[in-house]
Amino acid sequence: MNSGEKSGRKSGENTWQKTGEWSDKKLGEKARKYQGEKSGKNSEKETWRKSEQWSDKKLGENPRKNSGEKSDKKFGEKQTKWRKESAEGQQRGERKAEDKAFSKETKKNRSQCPVFRKCGGCQLLDMPYKKQLELKQKQLETLLKPFCRLEAMIGMEDPYHYRNKVHAVFDHDKKGNPFSGVYEANSHRVVPVESCLIEDEKADEIIGTIRGMLKSFKIRTYDEDTGYGLLRHVLIRRGFTTGEIMVVLVTASPIFPSKNNFVKALRDKHPEITTAIQNVNGRGTSMVLGDKEHVLYGKGYIEDILCGYRFRISSKSFYQVNPVQTEILYKKAIEAAGLTGNERVIDAYCGIGTIGIVASQYAKEVIGVELNRDAVKDAIENAKLNDVSNVKFYCNDAGKFMENMAESGEHADVVFLDPPRSGSTVEFIDSVAKLKPAKVVYVSCGPETLARDLELFRKRGYEARKGWGIDLFPMTAHVETVVCLSRKNPDDRIEIDLSLDELDITTAESKATYEEIKDYVLKNHSMKVSSLYISQVKRKLGLEIGTSYNLPKSEDARVPQCPLNKEKAITEALNHFSMI
């Protein structure tokens, strides 16, 4: 998960948000269709406005009654049969919208957060935490069932205020009053937020202080539409163990009037701030941070302690947002690798070197590879900071780096990879296969792409053995996963004596036995098939089978026929074993 985080909170696939908008959208569509066909363009606009008003009222009045009265008044007693039928259809649509509105309004009133529906960051906020863990466990089991066994989900004791990195977007209302918050899901509309249940409380407090200081310092917030204004974002990073705090003021221009006085006034109110940075982002981009930075106070970075090691964190460094669960995550990944002290380890997508440095005490040598130059600089500094001498870091593409190692005849025993949510690439997985490490430990924040990549690894000779789900993101739909893969050794074989008559082996069938086909169908489709069904499908496909294999004992005997779903599964297995 080492990609730069974009503006706003990670929203993912916001199921609550989408369903919450259904009632307004559905009602609006029906109103536009009905009124547009009768009253022309102006009437269509009016109906859309009224339908929005109705949606805002929700259940304050009886919408069906009001809608019927307006419809009668508008069209009078000259309504045709067609119009009546259309009105009835509209009422049916309104009833459905009303039911949805009631359900969603009830959820909204019960929510712990006043902007739950608009923000979209905490999709599972109003679900009991135990249920959240059960849901994530079930989703992971469904995705990973074809590949490996999944251990029980590891949750948090206190699932609130766990984020050590907090980002706030700054905007202003029509009167010019500044406010801050997050982008509404799938948009660039800013939702005002004063405090958040998953963000660090001290960070929220500092953002509130900055918001209150803007008018006295005559600092205008940036307007994306006009391009005017100075302050775009504020980013807060806090070391949970060290207590160090970084404040990043993201401005649209390098010219920041009274910046030193502003920082001094801020520190007077929050002396716990250890460094302040001005980041300049003048581009029309969705990225939060720009390329240029100026240190306004302190050393320009903070430090935190993770798994007993001290790490230097800059404004752009990737550092897991939940340090409490990250310690569990890294310990589980190193445990899965089974390091004994003699291994050569590669930490791919290494970022600032956290996994590699923590693993260095259990390995003979660690090689970290990262494409982000700033992250590599931090990783080198972190190795020096912890007096770790058996780790080296390289700024390179991890896939190409391993491919070059393989071509040079070098080896690695274990590869750790922690890619972004989009997963790894075919090229990277090919390079792992060429290097032939005995084990691969995959740390993933995207279960869907993890399942996709495990299939690619399987085709290249790696089998997933076991997986662990670690909840790094309570209240959201996201989850972190660790999976250990082992390389299948083609030289490992067991010699046994089998009777060919018993197995009914033929030339076409020699690529897979009946038991192998049964095992494949059971593993991939969770269904059992009989030898009779397999022989029926093979005969149907023109494959050779024994002359008397599974034939009925008498001519008039009734023989069960293979169901269509099992026929498809068997055909897939035959194709898998290259028999068709």
> 522: exposed, middle or buried (C-beta count within 10 Å: 0-12, 13-18, 19+)?
middle
443, 464, 493 - which closes a domain: 493
Q: Which of 228, 472, 212, 201 is nearest to 220 (CA)?
A: 228
**Residue pLDDT, tens place only, 398-451:** 999 999 999 999 999 999 999 988 899 999 999 999 999 999 999 999 999 999
Query: Per residue in 237-294, pLDDT tens?
Result: 999 999 999 999 999 999 999 999 999 999 999 999 999 999 999 887 778 998 899 9
Q: How many CB atoms lie under 10 A from the CB of residue 350?
A: 30
390 and 331 in one domain?
yes
| Residues 452 and 522 both lie in one domain | no
- Whether 160 has a binding-site annotation, put simply, is no
What pairing do the DSSP bridges indicate for beta strands 231-238 and 245-251? antiparallel
Residue 446 and residue 421 in contact, taking contact as beta carbons nearer than 8 Å: yes
The closest of 41, 30, 27, 35 to 74, measured between CA atoms, is: 35
Last residue within a domain, chosen from 461, 493, 525? 493
pLDDT of residue 170: 95
Closest CA to 544 of 502, 504, 492: 504
Residue 288 belongs to some domain of the structure: no
The reply, when asked if residue 91 is annotated as ligand binding, is: no
Residues serving a catalytic function are: 445
CATH of the domain at 441: 3.40.50.150
State whether 500 and 464 are in the same domain.
no
Residue 77 known to bind ligand: no
Tell me the average pLDDT of the chain. 80
Taking the model in full, what pTM does it have? 0.66
Q: Are residues 329 and 423 in the same domain?
A: yes
Answer yes or no: do 486 and 537 share one domain.
no
Q: Is residue 544 part of a domain?
A: yes
Q: Are residues 394 and 517 in the same domain?
A: no
Query: Burial, 461: exposed, middle or buried (Cβ in 10 Å; 0-12, 13-18, 19+)?
Result: middle
Within this chain, do residues 514 and 487 fall inside the same structural domain, yes or no? no
Instruction: Look at the alpha carbons of 28, 30, 32, 38 in this order and tell me if their dihedral is positive or negative.
Output: negative
**Residue 370: pLDDT over 60:** yes
Is residue 451 situated within a structural domain?
A: yes
Alpha-carbon distance values, 525 to 388, 418, 513 (Å): 48, 30, 18
- Cα separation, 450 vs 457, whole angstroms: 10
The total domain count for the chain is 2
Give the tokens for residue 470.
């670690």
Out of 446, 464, 493, a domain closes at 493
In a domain, 414, yes or no: yes
Q: 436 in a domain, yes or no?
A: yes
Closest CA to 22 of 103, 115, 125: 103
Q: Is residue 149 part of a domain?
A: yes
In a domain, 511, yes or no: yes
Domain-located, residue 180: no
User: What is the structure's pLDDT at 203?
Assistant: 96
Exposure string for 267-298, b = 16+ CB within 10 A, e = fewer: beeeeebbbbbbbbbeeeeeebbbeebeebbb
pLDDT digits (tens, 9 = 90+) for 213-239: 999 999 999 988 888 999 999 999 999
Q: Across the strands, what pairs with 192?
A: 181
Check whether residue 427 and residue 370 sit in a common domain. yes
Same domain for 355 and 478? yes
The reply to whether 278 sits in an annotated binding site is no
**Residues 340, 459 within the same domain:** yes
pLDDT at 215: 93
At residue 90, the pLDDT reads 56
Residue 386: predicted pLDDT: 96
CB 487 within 8 A of CB 462: yes
Look at residue 400 in the predicted model and tell me its pLDDT. Answer: 92
Concatenated DSSP letters for 156-168?
-SS-SS-BSEEEE
Do 499 and 541 lie in one domain? The reply is yes
Range of the domain at 426: 144-153+313-493
Chain-centre distance for alpha carbon 34: 40
Say whether both 377 and 425 belong to one domain.
yes
Alpha helix (H) residue ranges in 386-446: 398-407, 426-435
Percent of the chain with pLDDT over 90: 54
Q: DSSP per residue over 88-143, as a string?
A: HHHHHHHHHHHHHHHHHHHHHHH-SSTTHHHH-S-TTTTS-HHHHHHHHHHHHHHH
Of residues 477 and 185, the one with the higher pLDDT is 477
